[in-house]
């Protein structure tokens, strides 16, 4: 069956790859872009695949409303929503400014809630639908220097778990993909540090430098192939049943196992050893 799929954050990374993968599987994909003028690379890669770029800044109520209305007018249904758009922020909690915290939560939590809320009436009426949340291993385990990002992903975990219970009676499936490090722009072009992270004389300066070195190492050799995550997203977008949480990548699974089954003191020691300067 040809399904209608809406995916956010399709300029690059998981979103772009998932849009192409879902389309390869015979689905019609509305690919959300914060700036529609950046659509050319996606259009070129899609070729004849049924990928339709749409203007969708997830923090814009007008964009959300217009996209949902357009899809329902053109297709009559929305079978799957993939909440992929998100922002990261590096910086120790004490350093981060309020506007930076609000921005992370606006994109990673509030916009996800708002867009999901916008598509649910159609899914309930259909008595079928899939909502795929692209979370992070940071939603299960918080590392120093990523506290605000981890807080937003922890919030997404809680919201998704409750939502799964709430909409299951209406035939709507909610799932969470929890990637560890993958070779996407979040480790490159979209790697963002708090404006105070490099402040002269900061007590966290050496720790921030250590964290940046660690991210550079991961980006160069330790990150996985993002196509694996795109394939999982496409699987879940088409699924009628699946578990709630889907950790992705060996390091993510190891960290979650340590968090869930090992003594916290051991985890604390390991994180300290990896993130504290010598």
Residues designated catalytic = 149
Residues near 174 by Cβ (< 8 Å), separated by ≥ 6?
A: 130, 131, 133, 160, 163, 164, 167, 168, 244
Three-state SS annotation for the chain: CCCEEEECCCCCHHHHHHHHHHHHCCCEEEEEECCHHHCHHHHHHHCCCCEEEEECCCCCHHHHHHHHHHHHHHHCCCCEEEECCCCCCECCCCCCCHHHHHHHHHHHHHHHHHHHHHHHHHHHHHCCEEEEEECCHHHCCCCCCCHHHHHHHHHHHHHHHHHHHHHHHHCEEEEEEEECCECCHHHCCCCCECCCCCCCCCCCHHHHHHHHHHHHHHHHHHCECHHHHHHHHHHHHHCCCCCCEEEECHHHHHHHHHHHHCCHHHHHHHHHHHHCCC
């Amino acid at each position: 069956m040809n399904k209608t799929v809406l995916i956010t954050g399709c300029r690059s990374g998981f979103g772009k790859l998932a849009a192409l993968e879902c389309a390869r599987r015979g689905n019609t994909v509305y690919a959300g872009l914060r700036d529609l003028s950046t659509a050319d690379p996606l259009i070129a890669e899609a070729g004849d695949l049924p990928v339709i770029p749409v203007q969708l800044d997830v923090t814009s109520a007008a964009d959300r409303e217009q996209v949902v209305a357009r899809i329902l007018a053109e297709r009559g249904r929305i079978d799957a929503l993939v909440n992929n758009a998100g922002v990261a922020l590096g910086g120790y909690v004490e350093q981060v400014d309020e506007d930076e915290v609000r921005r992370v939560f606006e994109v990673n939590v509030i916009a996800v809630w708002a867009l999901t809320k916008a598509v649910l009436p159609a899914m309930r009426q259909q008595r079928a639908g899939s909502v795929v949340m692209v979370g992070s291993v940071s939603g299960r385990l918080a590392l120093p220097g990523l506290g605000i990002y981890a807080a937003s992903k922890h919030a997404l975990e809680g919201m998704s778990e409750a939502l799964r219970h709430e909409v299951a009676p209406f035939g709507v499936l909610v799932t969470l993909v929890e990637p560890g490090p993958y070779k996407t722009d979040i480790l490159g072009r979209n790697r963002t540090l708090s404006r105070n992270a490099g402040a002269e004389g900061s007590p966290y300066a050496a720790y921030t430098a250590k964290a940046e070195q660690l991210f550079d190492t991961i980006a160069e050799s330790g990150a996985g192939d993002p196509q694996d995550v795109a394939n999982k997203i496409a699987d879940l977008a088409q699924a009628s049943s699946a578990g709630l949480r889907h950790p992705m990548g060996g390091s993510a699974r190891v960290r979650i196992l340590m968090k869930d089954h090992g003594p916290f003191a051991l985890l604390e020691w390991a994180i300290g050893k990896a993130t504290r300067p010598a």
